[in-house]
Amino acid sequence: MSRWFSTLYARMSLVLIVLFASIGVAYLVLVYWSSNRYYQEMTQSLNRSLGMYIVNRAPLIDNGVVNHAAMQELAELVMVVNPIVEVYLTDASGKILDHAFPESELVQPRIDVAPIEAWLNDERPLPITGTDPRTGRTDKVFSAWPVEDDGQRVGYLYVVLGGKLYQSLRDSLTESYVLRLSLGGLIAIVLFALITAVLIFAAMTKPLRRLARDMQNFQRVELNVAHSGAASGDEIAYLHDTFHRMQAKIHDQLQRLEQTDRLRRELVSNVSHDLRTPLASMQGYLETLAIRDEKLSDVERTRYLKIAYTHCRRLTKLVQELFELSKLDTGRTELSCETFLLAELLQDVLQKFELKASQRNITVNADLARRPYAVTADIALMERVFENLIDNALCYTPDGGSITVSLAAGDNGVAVDVADTGVGVAKDKLPRIFERYYQAKGQRFAQGEGTGLGLAIVKRILDLHQCQISVTSEEGAGTCFSFELPRANVG
């Protein structure tokens, strides 16, 4: 229900309901006020001369004495003709001197003479309201005329044109059938207008709601973003949020495309350079063999063939690593994880480099802490990681140096370190060491073997395993690569 109230359709409907309800109440108040004002103005205009007629019928104050008999007779006569009027005689200050009611019914013994003066002098437009002594209300229309004694104004004849009897009748009629019928008709009209408007809003906002649902599905499927409570709101707010998410996604994709295009250009440049060098060397030596074959000695012929074979092998390795790295970069490599003993895998990898290391008198140590350490990973890819790290260590370790591969229990798995006593890497070059084709400037002791792709492949493989690799190095002292593999849950 709360979600429905957050939709644009619901909000527009609620605003319309409040607006129509406010207009209906305002209309009722206006009709009531205007009809009441109209009645007061009409009544006061029709009875404008009533006070004058009463005063001229008989003297009400003679030699400073109130003529009670005349006052009572005139008041009763007027009230018989028109029961809703009330007649009062006051002095010049507004104090009531005589009336035709029991004294106990007077709530207020004095009236305000300012409205009477305004009435007599036509100072304000009608209706002009004054005080009702029997109810104390100050919103009663009246008729008045000055009372004189020996040519001097000594008081006023004050006639309330809607007295207590009128007020009682009016209050009783507020619950009458006609009034309730009129109010019910007005409510029915307002409800009809509301229902009509709500249906119109439903039809108008239906395409917008359909678009919002489509955008929600697009956001969930294409952008891989679930609808969050922070983005909740009406359809326009939701579309606004989805638009910004799409904008961010497109911007990110454009940046990725620009980066991919930059890497593609670099790849083409680097590949063309790396391929051109061994191809040119192979071509040169093979052309020499073809042209001067009869003039070459067996030793020279063997040396030329060996050099051409070395460049051919380097070219083959480069192409293989390029395809491997391209496959890793495009996400086409799927992990085939299994549980295996990491120590056994390391022993197998180290055996591959025994001959190469012994030829240069390099010691390869395996510090396995006498534990096999079962891990869960892609065994073929992890074998590739160790081969590249050890091969990289051999390239930059001088003859007579050492390489140490160690395993230990880490915080969340099995910690692996591959350390060497090679030339090391400068600190400013360490952040770029895992970039493709990047080779830190330094002495290489295994010439013709490096492609600049080995460490980039290591980084991509470990990224697939959700593992972080770090490197520490000191120039002239050696380099150490460290990462941690998840330990297998074995009984």
State how far the Cα of 462 lies from the Cα of 453, in Å rounded to an integer. 15
In tens digits, the chain (491 residues) has pLDDT values of 455 555 666 677 777 777 777 777 787 778 778 877 888 788 888 888 888 888 888 888 888 888 888 888 888 888 777 777 888 889 988 898 888 888 778 888 889 989 988 888 887 888 888 888 888 888 888 889 898 888 888 899 998 887 555 655 555 555 565 567 667 777 787 787 778 777 777 777 777 777 777 777 777 776 666 555 444 556 677 677 777 777 887 888 888 888 777 766 766 666 676 677 677 777 887 888 888 877 778 888 888 888 888 878 777 777 776 776 677 766 667 788 888 998 889 988 898 888 888 888 999 988 876 777 888 898 988 998 998 899 889 888 898 999 999 998 887 789 999 999 988 888 888 888 887 666 665 566 554 455 667 888 888 888 888 899 999 998 888 999 999 998 887 65
Q: Which two tokens stand for residue 61?
A: 């104050």
Closest CA to 160 of 97, 58, 89, 105: 89
Convert 398-407 to b/e letters by CB count within 10 Å (16 or more is b): eeebbbbbbb
Asked if 414 contacts 342 with a C-beta cutoff of 8 angstroms, the reply is: yes
Global confidence as pTM: 0.46
Whether the domain at 236-327 and the domain at 335-486 fall into the same CATH topology: no
Per-residue model confidence (pLDDT) at position 418: 93
Asked if 28 contacts 189 with a C-beta cutoff of 8 angstroms, the reply is: no
**Torsion, Cα of 423, 426, 427, 432 (10° steps):** -100
Per-residue model confidence (pLDDT) at position 179: 63
DSSP E strands, 253-391: 337-341, 363-367, 374-378
Contacts of 215 (CB under 8 A, 6+ apart): 238, 239, 242
The structural domains of the chain, with segments of one domain joined by +, span 47-173, 236-327, 335-486
Residue 372: is the preceding peptide bond cis (ω within 30°)?
no
Residues in the chain: 491
Side chain identity at residue 354, one-letter code: E
Fold of the domain spanning 47-173 = Beta-Lactamase (3.30.450)
Per-residue model confidence (pLDDT) at position 3: 53
Q: What is the DSSP string of 38-106?
A: HHHHHHHHHTTTHHHHHHHHS-SEETTEE-HHHHHHHHHHHHHH-TT-EEEEEETTSBEEEESS-GGG-
Q: What is the CATH number of domain 335-486?
A: 3.30.565.10
Per-residue model confidence (pLDDT) at position 233: 56
Q: How far is CA 477 from the centre of its chain?
A: 54
State how far the Cα of 154 lies from the Cα of 113, in Å rounded to an integer. 13
CATH number, domain 236-327, options 1.10.287.130, 3.30.70.3450, 3.40.190.10, 1.20.58.1610: 1.10.287.130
Q: How far is CA 14 from the centre of its chain?
A: 23
